[in-house]
Amino acid sequence: MEEMLDDIRRLVECESPSADQGAVTRSADVVSSVGRGRLGTDPDRVVVNGCTHLRWRFGDKPARVLVLGHHDTVWPLGTLDRIPYGVRDGVLRGPGCFDMKTGLVQAFHAIAALGPLEGSADGVTLLITGDEEVGSPTSRALIEREATGCVASLVLEASGPGGALKIGRKGVSTYQIKIVGRAAHAGLEPASGINAAVALAQLIQDVLALASPEHGTTVTPTLARAGTTTNTIPAEGSLAVDARMWDAGEQQRVDHAIRALTPSLLGATLTVEGGPNRPPLQAGSSGDLTSLALQVAAETGITQLSTMSVGGASDGNFTAGVGVPTLDGLGAVGDGAHAAHEHVLVNHIVPRTTLLAALLRRLLQGAG
């Protein structure tokens, strides 16, 4: 436990906001160092458009199990000054501790427990990416490539409430919609303008109408902008949209509907950028893997393990999207992802690591 806590501290105290490539590179150096100390080997550094991803491959045979995580966080530089790393009364705190640096340490120690130097981890690939929190723009192809052909993908994202495994995640589509009208003086000749703000207001209603509560589909306007000065008819407006759904058919329906939107004002024009970012991770797609995890959990002394589906997405959506059975939420038990009360319950760290190691053993034995 003391070794694991020291490793977690090292990762948490190296801040790694996704948008700061320098910080992500420094974090990759620390993650590499911690991983080398536990696994006995350096990772491959895969740099795509300046973003650093880390990959450990064990053995010469084709990969059979992908262990997946990320080292970037949502927290800006300087957050440690306000929320320092610390452990008190069995609760570990610090930016990124729950999402998901504790999970990375669990992965290192679980794989090390297999004895990678003796070949017991042959067939395992550990991939730690650096841009998950911003949609994995540079790592998606790498994730899908490493997952293809595997019998399982185990994702070390934080668990659900009470330590629940995540067996389903909504797909995500994101859009930027731009409306162009025509500027005019708001007092002298307002009628000669085409008010992009008015068109934007109607567009928001049109977007909201695309949701489907009966299917669990949400289509949410999230960021709207229009206008330049208080006495000018707005010539441009923009709207960001976040759409989430449980199945691919709904994702396609929403995509077609958004691309078919038209502005409500004559003379205004509308353009759409973006589209589906992550496919849904459907709960039924990994039934055998889930059953195995619950069985292994009982064998290792975890008797209250539950499963759930959640609206948030992860890189596990990508591995499921290429047809690989995927089990998510194997990481830390705690609460507060992306929030000031982010924390990890220390007494769950070792049992979760033991569960991961035992699950890896069973999967590798079955693959053999």
The set of catalytic residues is: 72, 132
DSSP string, 228-276: SSTTB---EEEEEEEEEESSHHHHHHHHHHHHT---SSTT-EEEEEEEE
> Tokens standing for 214?
């009966």
Helix, strand, coil percent content, the chain, rounded in steps of 5? 40, 25, 35
State how far the Cα of 182 lies from the Cα of 174, in Å rounded to an integer.
27
Partners of residue 44 on adjacent β-strands: 55
**Residue with the two structure tokens 């790694």:** 16
332: helix, strand or coil = coil
Determine phi and psi for 338, rounding to 5 degrees: 70, 15
State how far the Cα of 30 lies from the Cα of 270, in Å rounded to an integer.
46
**E strands, the chain, in order:** 44-48, 51-57, 65-70, 86-88, 91-93, 124-129, 152-155, 165-169, 171-180, 218-226, 236-245, 269-278, 307-310, 326-327, 334-335, 343-345
310: helix, strand or coil = strand
Q: Name 91's Cβ contacts closer than 8 Å, sequence gap at least 6.
A: 334, 343, 344, 345, 346
